[in-house]
Amino acid sequence: MTNLTEDLAWEDLKLMLDENCVRPFVWSSHNLLFLSDPLSPAIHVKHLPPAAEASRAPNVISQTHSYPLRFTLPPPGPILEMAHAYGPATTLSISPQDKYLFAFFPPAQPNVSTGGLGCIWGVEESLDTWAVKECWHYSAEAGVVAVRWLGEEREWHAQVGPTLRAARYPHLGPKLHYNHSAFLVVTADHSLHLYFQTYPSALDTSQPSGLHQLFNTLSVSLLSPTAAVQGHQEHLPVHDATLGGKRICIKAGIGLGYNDWSILIATRSSLIPNQHTDNSISMAAVLDELIPEDNTGELTAMNWMRGGMWGEEDLIELCEVEIDLLSDEPCKFF
């Protein structure tokens, strides 16, 4: 009898138990465990359980035929050129049907001009063969906070009635064209980005040999009513600055409803002081902005400083966004 846990180690399980663990991971439906390297911008992969079960799984083939499967995803071009400029991945997200993996690598140092890097890998002809499909650069002040894929598989449930029957829940979130992926990204500058595949797929003439452009992008601000339509982008960055500092989004959740085009975005922000290029904080400028212009106000610099104005806010903001990917018109994003 095969021991299905013979390749399981404590290092594989503690990630699911430690609430303070900052090393992101995802576990695919093919039992691939994707782990961010703790020290470098790399993604390691391990297959669980090994050999016996892997060989029985449909459409799961390995080129190496060596179990347990352990490999590292190929690095994208920017990391190959400047690995020192990027830190370990802080976000990992696997698409439905395990077709794509998204990872975000922040800059190694805050306010680095290179910013962060988002990368998409796609699975090839075998379980342990993945290829870089596309990359995006994010500014140092607009790192990725949350990711969610659309087009999740409909879940099964037991239907209540005289007889026990299996039924499926309705579609969750906006519907997509068949075999066309899409995902949402919330960034620290309070923006929501939609990455989607056009239908039918468009040729990217800027790429050699007419390669297909994998994802198109639309963006809207979560701070003000905006609209974006494919080919007519109207999104302008909104900088939320106040009292010698700026608000950045530090946590976000993306909520989907059944058969619903609308998406709810919950965000939590933090107020941080402005910094110079040398990362020093101008306290004089902060105090000047904190002191009221007239003598009648009750707000004083000392009261603000004692009140702990910097740091995470106590409120959660909600924003509703509507997405239409099936319309005859270009994709709409409100």
Q: Which long-range contacts (CB under 8 A, 24 or more apart) does 304-313 make?
A: 304/243, 309/243, 309/245, 309/271, 310/245, 310/271, 310/272, 310/273, 311/270, 311/271, 312/250, 312/268, 312/269, 312/270, 313/247, 313/268, 313/269, 313/270, 313/271
90 vs 105: CA distance, rounded Å:
6
How do residues 77-104 score in pLDDT, each as one tens digit? 999 999 999 999 999 999 998 999 999 9
Per-residue pLDDT at 240 exceeds 60? no
Per-residue pLDDT at 270 exceeds 50? yes
Average pLDDT, rounded, for the chain:
77
Sorted by sequence, the CB contacts under 8 Å of residue 92 that are 6+ apart come out as 24, 25, 26, 34, 36, 43, 101, 102, 103
> What per-residue confidence (pLDDT) applies to 202?
53
How do residues 128-157 score in pLDDT, each as one tens digit? 899 999 999 999 989 999 999 998 888 877
6 vs 55: CA distance, rounded Å:
16
pLDDT tier at 53, thresholds 50, 70, 90? very low
Neighbours of 38 (CB within 10 A): 9
> What per-residue confidence (pLDDT) applies to 311?
83
- β strands within 50-159, DSSP E: 70-72, 91-94, 100-105, 116-123, 130-138, 144-149, 156-159
Percent of the chain with pLDDT over 70: 66
User: In sequence order, which ranges of the chain are alpha helices (DSSP H)?
Assistant: 10-13, 51-56, 77-81, 283-290, 301-306
Per-residue pLDDT at 237 exceeds 90? no
How do residues 309-320 score in pLDDT, each as one tens digit? 678 888 999 999
SS3 assignment, position 105: strand
Per-residue pLDDT at 191 exceeds 90? yes
Q: Under a CB-based contact definition with an 8 Å cutoff, are residues 35 and 44 in contact?
A: yes
